Amino acid sequence: MSKKCRDKDGVSRRDFLGLAAFGAATVGTIGALAGSLRFVKADVYAEESKKFKIGKIENYPQGSVKKMDEKNVFIFSDEKGLYAISAICTHLGCIVHPSEYGFQCPCHGSQYTHDGDVIGGPAPRPLEWFEIHQEVDGTLFVDSGKTVPQGTKYLFA
């Protein structure tokens, strides 16, 4: 008959080692599960909104053109309404400048009409037009994440 070695609390060395092994296994299992949860969650991050304020309609008198420099968007106002055209060249992404015929890209010479159609240079497609909408408080927004067909305007009421 074997004789168990017990301490003063009555826990044998075998019991202690068994508990220690169980504790180590439990901690390891929890760590592995926590690590694997990282793979269950998709690595998808919410994209930053591309919507930005452009102020009130009275800030855009008929015939005005404003460039939102930090957003690379031109805001035009004509007799019908407002419209937003991207200032980003569709060739390689340089910033276009207004010209007598519309827009000119300084990088490789692409030329666009006032509506953004390509009339020269390597640009593969027209400049993008973006959605403009008005909130209930009258503030106008451009959403450069939403393109609209060329000619789409936010109509004056």
Applying CB under 6 A, the residues found at the interface with ligand FES are: 89, 91-94, 105, 107-110, 121-123
**In whole angstroms, how close is the CB of 122 to ligand FES at the nearest point?**
5
**In whole angstroms, how close is the CB of 105 to ligand FES at the nearest point?**
3
Distances 41 to 28, 46, 82 between C-alpha atoms, Å: 21, 13, 42
Widest distance between CA atoms in the chain: 106
**In whole angstroms, how close is the CB of 145 to ligand FES at the nearest point?**
21
- Judged by beta carbon, residue 23 or residue 120, the one nearer ligand FES is 120
Strands 81-86 and 102-104: unpaired
**In whole angstroms, how close is the CB of 82 to ligand FES at the nearest point?**
25
- Judged by beta carbon, residue 121 or residue 126, the one nearer ligand FES is 121
- Judged by beta carbon, residue 57 or residue 88, the one nearer ligand FES is 88
118 — phi, psi (to 5°)?
-75, 130
18 — phi, psi (to 5°)?
-65, -45
Select from 139, 145, 156 the least CA-distant residue to 53. 139
